[in-house]
Structure 1
Amino acid sequence: MSLSDADHELVTAELGREPTAAEAALFENLWSEHCAYRSSRPLLSAFDSEGDQVVVGPGDDAAVLALPEPDAANAPAAERDADDYGDTYVTFGVESHNHPSFVDPFDGAATGVGGIVRDTMSMGAYPIGLLDSLYFGGFERERSRYLFEGVVEGISHYGNCIGVPTVGGSVAFHGGYEGNPLVNVACVGLTNEDRLVTATAQEPGNKLVLVGNGTGRDGLGGASFASEDLAEDAETEDRPAVQVGDPYAEKRLIECNEALVDEGLVLSARDLGAAGLGGASSELVAKGGLGARIDLDAVHQREPNMNATEILLAESQERMCYEVEPADVERVAALAERFDLGCSVIGEVTDGNYVCEFAGDAGAEAEAVVDADAEFLADGAPMNDLPSEPPSEPDQDLPTDEPPLDEAVAAVLAAPSTASKRWVYRQYDHEVGTRTALKPGDDAALLAIRETEPDDERDADDEPAAGGDGVGLALASGANPKWTTVAPYEGARAVALENATNLAATGAVPLAAVDCLNGGNPEKPDVYGAFEGIVDGLADACAALDTPVVGGNVSLYNDSVEGPIPPTPTLAVLGTTRGYDAPPAALDDDRAADSELLLVGSGGDALGGSEYLAHAGGSDRFPTLPDESGGADDLGGLVASLAAAARHESTLAAHDVSEGGLAVALAELVTDDAGVDATLPDRVATFDETPGRLLVQTTDPEAVATAAGDLPVFRLGAVTTDGTLSLTVDDESVALSAEAVRDHRDVIDRELA
């Protein structure tokens, strides 16, 4: 890429002269789609980002949220007020590393983890959990498996080395990602009011200090690379734009950052990600309405003879930019040395322009290679006014010859997107940090936030007591490309409800969400129309869920010679519940004979976007969501009722119904010693994927029905002690042992063993 003619004219008019080579490159990257959101920002005002729980909303490296007190943790956000929130904060952010992960799946995915962790650190928080949502082409394709294995290896290597647990996420396989996989990573961190840092520069005269790895030439032009379609030769030609990570340096940087924040040495901070030092430092001072004077020769480097543009724009990893009072610089340098990290005083905050000076050769006189208004650099890019076309409605065309029930159930259980993801999550260290109360493989992860335990449950040293009753933090993320391909708006609403339902299965209610909005080339009207659909769908659903969307990321130009990706609205949702216990997503073996299985919530009226139709052929309208079919007055009330049913003292197990419908959800409940004998009315009831429903194993069905409020509750059948999935649909039946169910669902393990 290069600076467009229109942008060049705008920059020249602002500067009153031709831009230097360094300025042109800096504007090109900071005004790219990846950094400036030129095509998407006009749409993002649809999201509601406010609430009593929101301490820092969109616009910083990560959002900051106040956790409710334990007594209020189970109340829906709409029923809380400001007094219900305590002084324990969590940060929440999400990023994409899509193009780099296509070119180099290991390093692309690994550095995606590193970047979102540093976003967390820059807010004064310690990272406590990661979620990754991954999207690949058809699993049967060798290329897709290569990318899949490389990405998972990169995530596991980096996360395991830095000691941050990967506790959840999602994986989807779809033909629309053949030429452009997606790697979306979210991170949650822990902090409090006293430790909170933002990316807003404070005062002229303060020093700017660069801490971390030396600057090299890797990742040059990464922001502009992420803002263009992938070319056929991207794997070779764009390799220099992919960053190379060093997780051991990141671990030292995490601990150094903790020490700096503990001692109150950081006034503001920004991690060096897209557009490197130029992006981080200019955005930092722009947010404070200030300027800076940067000495590029002072930047510690790991490669010789780097020029000004390389130093300014390299996206070398494991680096942070801090604003520090002059009197504290020596202490910052001493802490960096303790953790074996490089440290450079690279300039200072001013009340003028953003100026970068560079001499290069020893003894040469430094010249200003950048001299521009910081706010114009960071926020001056004009927005795009792009044409859009609404996506076409799919024909309602059900398959004329439906496959036999046993074949359909087996196919849906073995579909890679609905199959077990054990091969993925067993490579992650999900217990490091000792907070993981509910491990990957269930509907949502659950982290123990022991810092929220009441004072009377702490010991004499003010340490949380064992088995305390603080706030449990539930986390879920993902999207379903089959849904959003069929109907972008309705599919995005379903994505939001599905993630909230995953939280409800643990007994949690949503607190806030962040999104990663992935689309193709927005200059194509049909692609942009579908992107508008997913934005509006997510925004409307999150508003109905009383869940503010407090941050996120946009990744466009996910287009290749294979065509555009499906519109993919990854949503990461964070929720709270009192305590750290949650019902499992499998039947309780010990009390199977004394319990019953209920379906809480009503299904839809169609098979659109379902795994069943992907196998059987045909297409159908997208199913109506529960709040529009009398299931609940609103999505927020629906999810709160589901959570109440899951939390009830008689509930032994709870599991959501979504991808694969009841057939897959029931199969996932079965164990070697507990099974289900269920009768369903028809194929729609068996394979409909409408979210907003839970399967609940309970010893007191009437009490669970009462806890579910106005939601419909259906008795599906008996919980058996033979470990068999028995389904009867119309005049057909199928029976599968727990071993047979596992055999179908372990397709990824078998193929990659």
Structure 2
Amino acid sequence: MSTDSVKRAESTPDEPMPFAELGMKQDEYDRVKEILGRRPTGSELAIYSVMWSEHCSYKSSKVHLRQFATKAPESEALLVGMGENAGVVDIGDGWAATFKIESHNHPSYVEPHQGAATGVGGIVRDIMSMGARPIAVMDSLRFGAADAVDTRRVLPGVVEGISHYGNCLGLPNIGGEVVFDPCYIGNPLVNALCVGLLRKDQIKLATAPGPGNKVVLFGASTGPDGIGGASVLASATFEDESHAKRPAVQVGDPFMEKLLIECCLELYTADVVVGIQDLGAAGVSCATTELAAKGTGGMHVDLNLVPLRDPSLRPEEILMSESQERMMAVVRPDDIPAFMAICQKWDVPATVIGEVTDTGRLVMTWDDEVIVDIPPGTAADDGPVYERPFHEPAGQAALNADAPDRLERPDDLRAALLRLLGSPNLASREWVTSQYDRYVRSNTVLAQPADAGMLRVHEAMDGAEPTTRGIALATDGNGRYAKLDPYAGAQLALAEAYRNVAVTGAQPLAVTNCLNFGSPEDPEVMWQFAEAVRGLADACRILGVPVTGGNVSFYNQTGSTAINPTPVVGVLGVIDDVAKRVGSGFTAEGLRVALLGETREEFGGSEWAHVAHGHLGGLPPVADLAAEQALAAVMVEAARRGLVEGSHDLSDGGLGVALAEACLARGVGATVTLTGDPFTALFSESAARALVAVRPEAFEEFAALCARHDVPCYGLGTTGGSSLVVEGVLDVPVADLRDKHAATLPALFG
């Protein structure tokens, strides 16, 4: 037997180790030595460096994220909350939904196609690891200025990567966002969401109980791709040499992932899985430490047994590799033959690489040499926790004082509407979404450009008992609002996603989030983060929707220039009968058009100020959460009673853009009359508002419903004709609206 690495580490305490090259600080390295009572071996250093990275350990955010638990609202629906691979909520009729959103920002800048593709693959495996069948994906994307050279490099590759991976998996892409802003140049945001279904009594967890149980690595073999990928790329700022990090970006194989999905589902049905973990960021390091820490505390692994694509890989590289399409399961010894047979059926390679122990130690060997001997919880759960200093940005008061009141308002509101409708952030996303399959599996009942995606539950799972139930999902965020006021900006992101789900007729139930910020080492960025988390936690408590999990993405900046703080919020809702869903926009002629909610002069961070003047200043709209809750109650009950024929939330671009998009939904025009200042009425971005189309005979009943919930309801006019007419203000043929709306992205990206 060769010299034991652990014993050699004990006898050579002063041997220099490359901790700084792996992103570890001196005090962190010193703590590792204190935990182990010696210096770490090279393999142990690899484990701690990736597990204690910002991306994996949340060391700068933990102290703030705890508010999602301490302020969590009571929720009978919540089955699994934060701390697992994804949250799980009870959606009724014995079914549960699991959903989560995560970032793959830095890899998507370095290599757009693979970065985005593997972002989809990773979030899908998070859902698989909960025992669920993934049934749909969404994405929230942000790029630099639409006409920037680098945006033309990054955006097509990102969209292609998302569409390739999702389409190959046969998962519909049912919604999301595409936003442009100069602040994201060099730091695009690629946030991917997946949702899955399972029976509520079939939840799987990442745990390794039972000494003697076997540890099985199955799926793709391990290669050099992705070594230090998500864990390292997402834990450092971007400089010009970031393209040199290309080898650290993972490479995806969606066809293997499709086999892995079906294999996992059959393994679950056969009840041969005790615990399971996907391999994503930090790869084998993460899976082994987390499974062991949540089980009986010990595990022995022989790294020589890990199947390799590249036989030259060293143990440290095997531990840090983030090769895709891999899972790790804990299996009872008697179930190994059945487990292996199912994997063989699906042509999924599977190898027993270790065994669960009760020693409280994670021990790994290589060539009969002990190269790792650590308490697994110290890597998985006991990483550093930083209470980083934070303070309000020096220019925040001046930014808030620079209200858009001084900006010149347009005389020609028709031209202003068309300009907004054709601007990159408000133009049709069809150039993007047409590359995604929105209807594969035939369970999609709403998809982009609807306010929220919606899926049937019954046909989504093979052999499901009949149910009319459905789930709805929306993601939203606004970096300009959060820049002006991160507390209110986070609440407005939640409010918009909550509203988008509610206007379809679904009851909002739970939240996931992806918090995208600059460097946590910058006190001004940390203030933005702390305020956003505080705002989101407070809003979730008020609205009664718990945070089930999510992701923090720091270091989204180049040099000292950070992106706008961008909390992205996903909301899942449930509808009792998908046949009673409310479609987007004006669905027929002769309907009464009404505006719900109050309109105020609120233009801070608005699309009008951004498009017409390139201006960002003032305060964002008021986040009136009680009004949001009342509006949702109206929309859910109205859908249940069949009172509303079409709806559309009001957000970016205000009522003017909402009216135009409602006309474009089915090519149906409308004639409306506004009261008060027409500019404010058309372009204010006041929250807690929706546009609805109601059958004339049902309008009185609908108005009474609004009154009962104290939701203002203003009759505007009727649908019909081939133009959008705002009496005395503008008259635009729907065909002209469509031409303006549709032309922008194809002209930019070909």
TM-score (ref. length: structure 2): 0.91
- 1:653-683 alpha-carbon deviations (Å, 9 max, x no partner): 1111011100100001114343233324222
Distance 1:401 1:479 in 2: 27
Q: Which residue identity lines up with residue 90 of structure 2 in the other structure? A: A
Partner of 1:387: 389
Shift of 1:324: 0.2
Distance 2:362 2:284 in 1: 13
Distance 1:173 1:115 in 2: 25
Q: Which residue identity lines up with residue 569 of structure 2 in the other structure? A: L
Tell me, yes or no, if structure 1 residue 677 matches structure 2 residue 672. yes
Question: What SS does structure 1 have at the residue aligned with 2:240?
Answer: coil
Shift of 1:195: 2.4
Partner of 1:60: 84
Partner of 1:726: 725
Give the unaligned 5+ runs of structure 2: 1-21
Q: Which residue identity lines up with residue 668 of structure 1 in the other structure? A: E
CA separation of 1:279 and 1:101: change in aligned 2, threshold 3 A: same
Partner of 1:652: 645
Q: Which residue identity lines up with residue 217 of structure 1 in the other structure? A: P
> Is the CA contact (8 Å cut-off) linking 2:144 and 2:151 kept in structure 1?
yes
Shift of 1:238: 0.7
Partner of 1:325: 332
Partner of 1:75: none
Tell me, yes or no, if structure 1 residue 665 matches structure 2 residue 658. yes
> Is the CA contact (8 Å cut-off) linking 1:544 and 1:635 kept in structure 2?
no
Choose the corresponding residue for 2:37, options 16, 30, 38.
Answer: 16
Shift of 1:88: 1.0
Q: Kindly report which structure 2 residues correspond to 1:285-296, keeping only aligned pairs within 5 A, or say none.
A: 285-296=292-303
Partner of 1:550: 548
Choose the corresponding residue for 1:598, options 594, 613, 629.
Answer: 594
Distance 2:294 2:366 in 1: 28
Shift of 1:376: 0.7
* Runs of 4+ off more than 6 Å: none
Distance 2:463 2:31 in 1: 59
Partner of 1:570: 568
Q: Which residue identity lines up with residue 10 of structure 1 in the other structure? A: R
Choose the corresponding residue for 2:136, options 100, 104, 129.
Answer: 129
Distance 1:725 1:620 in 2: 31
Partner of 1:147: 154
Shift of 1:142: 2.1
Partner of 1:92: 99
Distance 1:673 1:66 in 2: 38
Partner of 1:534: 532
> Is the CA contact (8 Å cut-off) linking 2:404 and 2:603 kept in structure 1?
no
Corresponding pairs, count: 709
Shift of 1:524: 0.7
Shift of 1:616: 3.3
> Is the CA contact (8 Å cut-off) linking 1:541 and 1:635 kept in structure 2?
no
Partner of 2:235: 227
Distance 2:157 2:184 in 1: 16
CA separation of 1:19 and 1:326: change in aligned 2, threshold 3 A: same
> Is the CA contact (8 Å cut-off) linking 1:522 and 1:556 kept in structure 2?
yes
> Is the CA contact (8 Å cut-off) linking 2:507 and 2:575 kept in structure 1?
yes
CA separation of 1:470 and 1:285: change in aligned 2, threshold 3 A: same
Q: Which residue identity lines up with residue 540 of structure 2 in the other structure? A: C
Q: Which residue identity lines up with residue 12 of structure 1 in the other structure? A: K
Question: What SS does structure 2 have at the residue aligned with 1:265?
Answer: coil
Distance 1:613 1:226 in 2: 32
Tell me, yes or no, if structure 1 residue 51 matches structure 2 residue 75. yes
Partner of 1:411: 419
Choose the corresponding residue for 1:439, options 442, 447, 450.
Answer: 447
Distance 1:5 1:436 in 2: 52
CA separation of 1:716 and 1:749: change in aligned 2, threshold 3 A: farther
Shift of 1:168: 1.1
Comparing 288-297 with 705-714, greater Cα deviation is found at 705-714
Choose the corresponding residue for 2:749, options 730, 748, 752.
Answer: 752
CA separation of 1:124 and 1:218: change in aligned 2, threshold 3 A: same
- 1:474-500 alpha-carbon deviations (Å, 9 max, x no partner): 110121112112211111111111101
Distance 2:554 2:273 in 1: 34
Choose the corresponding residue for 2:377, options 359, 372, 375.
Answer: 375
Q: Which residue identity lines up with residue 77 of structure 2 in the other structure? A: Q
Question: What SS does structure 2 have at the residue aligned with 1:346?
Answer: strand
Partner of 1:35: 56
Choose the corresponding residue for 2:348, options 315, 322, 341.
Answer: 341
> Is the CA contact (8 Å cut-off) linking 2:627 and 2:711 kept in structure 1?
no
Give the unaligned 5+ runs of structure 1: 69-85, 361-365, 454-460, 628-632
Sequence identity of aligned pairs in percent?
A: 39
Distance 1:664 1:711 in 2: 25
Q: Kindly report which structure 2 residues correspond to 1:99-118, keeping only aligned pairs within 5 A, or say none.
A: 99-118=106-125
CA separation of 1:669 and 1:203: change in aligned 2, threshold 3 A: same
> Is the CA contact (8 Å cut-off) linking 1:57 and 1:63 kept in structure 2?
yes
- 1:297-333 alpha-carbon deviations (Å, 9 max, x no partner): 0001111221101111100000000000011112222
> Is the CA contact (8 Å cut-off) linking 2:504 and 2:635 kept in structure 1?
no
Distance 1:328 1:32 in 2: 36
> Is the CA contact (8 Å cut-off) linking 1:406 and 1:734 kept in structure 2?
yes
Shift of 1:644: 2.5
Question: What SS does structure 2 have at the residue aligned with 1:147?
Answer: helix
Comparing 564-573 with 191-200, greater Cα deviation is found at 191-200
Q: Kindly report which structure 2 residues correspond to 1:200-239, keeping only aligned pairs within 5 A, or say none.
A: 200-222=207-229, 223-235=231-243, 237-239=244-246
Shift of 1:289: 4.6
